Structure 1
Amino acid sequence: MQIVGYETPGGALFVSDGPGAAVDRVPLDPGDRLDWALADRHCAGTVHEGDHVACDAEGAPYCRDHRSTWVCARCTGTCLKDEMDCFDDHAVYLAAFAPDTFKVGVTREWRLDTRLREQGADRAAHLRTVENGRVAREREAGIAEEIPDRVRVPTKIAGLGATLDAEAWDDLLAGFDPLETFEFDYGLDLSGRPVAETLAAGEVVGTKGRVLVLRNAGTTYAVDMRSLVGYEVESGGSRRELQSSLGAFG
């Protein structure tokens, strides 16, 4: 069986039993258990009409032939497609990640709440609604001269269990006039920072964006779900020696 994808913000992994097999969704609800040992890793292939099209290439999670590039992520207002197609309303927003990391971003207005949860934001502010993606990217690029437009997953993991610096967030918002603000609770109830690890065994504590939190043998781990994609898995739990939480919460 191979892990071929993941879902946010609902929290799930997608697995396949082999070439041409249907792709199954494995929910990651709090209290669920995973009991997989990670074996070889290679390209996760693709999914066509619900069935897995396998690929044995070494590149992981995707080889060059199956790696996709979302050109809109690199847009700064000059369309990189053959023809612009983002004509619906877009939201420009700020997102906050504990303890004190902030970013600017854009998304289609109707999926703003979903996009923020996909990223695992702790707080957010809807700054403006504009008429299309081109204008939104222009606004984003301007704000990005002062505020980053991306946050790496290791930075998000490092902030798990921390409290957001509300004063720094309020100071940032003082320079804007938000249309609305958001606060999110992912129900993780962490007493400290989990250990960053790549594993698929343990009790599910919950998910925050694409970060899966597992409890295994008394230690809490944070797993970037993208780092699991492409792995062949076998029943029986992790067979590797894992770093314990001793000293992890200092």
Structure 2
Amino acid sequence: MSWPRGGPDGGPVLGWRRDERAAGSAGTRERVSVLGYGRELGFRAEGERRCVGARGNPCPVAAVVPVRSTGARCPECARLDRAHSVAADTLADDPRPYRVYLAWFGPGMVKVGITRESRGGARLREQGAVVFGWLGRGPLMAARRTEELLRAALGVPDRIPYAGKRAVRGGLPGPVERAAEVEELYRRAVALEGAGWPEALERLPFEAVDHGGVFGLEGLDVTAAPVRAVTGLVGGGVVAGRLVAAAGPDLYLETPSDGTVVLDTRLITGWELAAADARAGVDVPLVAVGAGGVQDGLF
């Protein structure tokens, strides 16, 4: 699942790759489905979960990968995919402009990060940031130094465990309260100008961007029954329900017998999928939200 900058109303889309060889064509065909709230979804996993490869190239051995991992890559492909990435600090000479952001995921859960300016707010939606604000813009290394400055001077983390983000989504305060927490951190951050703030980083005016409506969280009712999360697919396992919300990589599905079920869409990569009845419910392993789950990513 992705949150493209130019997507309809900034909403999520799901990308599919279809093998055309069985139909007599060469290679694969890709298509994208817009994920509208209220839409019914249903699919069944088939076979085994295989490595998705690295940087657009297939895994040379089509390695089987763990069903609970969010990466869907074997160790070698994971290493290749991470190479030349911003996160790995291997693009110091990248000439493109970057932005520093402050992102809020729940009370007391604010982080600092950087993203390419051309991506806009897509990176923040991918991380599940309920609110964010830009802090500054400039060259990559200036943005990176600002990120490090906030970590050292203000104790602001650059990562928040994903399970923590998911656990608080059912009881978020209102838009005014959550924006206020980001604005307070912004004030503390700009007060550091002259105390290590890189000269090459242009400070941007504060404006809170709230994703509560885009994610569908304002209408999400998680009080009627405990929310449970998919821990991994299994061969022959079905996930089906009505989409009621989405945040980061998560889809919130209303199901006939299991209440609200959260599916981290990173868990479906690497599987062959077939259509299933949207009223079939869920017959893959589940765990109560906040009680463990999938191996965490770098969000």
- Pick the TM interval, shorter chain: 0.7 to 0.9
* Change over 3 Å in CA distance of 1:97–1:53 after alignment to 2: same
Structure 1, unaligned stretches of length 5 or more? 1-5, 246-250
Distance 1:47 1:136 in 2: 25
* Change over 3 Å in CA distance of 1:28–1:105 after alignment to 2: same
What residue identity is the alignment partner of 2:159? R
Contact kept, 8 Å, 1:47 with 1:53, in 2: the verdict is no
Distance 1:54 1:32 in 2: 37
1:99 CA displacement: 3.3
Distance 2:122 2:288 in 1: 33
What residue identity is the alignment partner of 2:35? L
Deviations 1:100-155 (A, max 9, x none): 3111001223433222222221111211222x101111111121231110123222
What residue identity is the alignment partner of 1:16? R
1:213 aligns with 2:257: no
Equivalent of residue 159 in structure 1, options 154, 157, 168: 168
* Change over 3 Å in CA distance of 1:48–1:150 after alignment to 2: closer
Q: Please give the secondary structure, in 2, of the residue aligned with 1:73.
A: coil
Structure in which a larger fraction of residues adopt strand: 1
Match of 2:230 in 1: 197
- TM normalised by structure 2 equals 0.66
Distance 1:90 1:244 in 2: 38
Contact kept, 8 Å, 1:12 with 1:27, in 2: the verdict is yes
Distance 2:55 2:32 in 1: 13
- Paired residues, what number? 231
- TM normalised by structure 1 equals 0.77
Equivalent of residue 121 in structure 1, options 100, 109, 129: 129
Distance 1:118 1:141 in 2: 22
1:7 CA displacement: 2.1
Match of 1:96 in 2: 104
Aligned residues: percent identity?
A: 27
Contact kept, 8 Å, 1:157 with 1:222, in 2: the verdict is no
Contact kept, 8 Å, 1:89 with 1:108, in 2: the verdict is yes
Match of 1:3 in 2: none
Structure in which a larger fraction of residues adopt helix: 2
Match of 2:270 in 1: 230
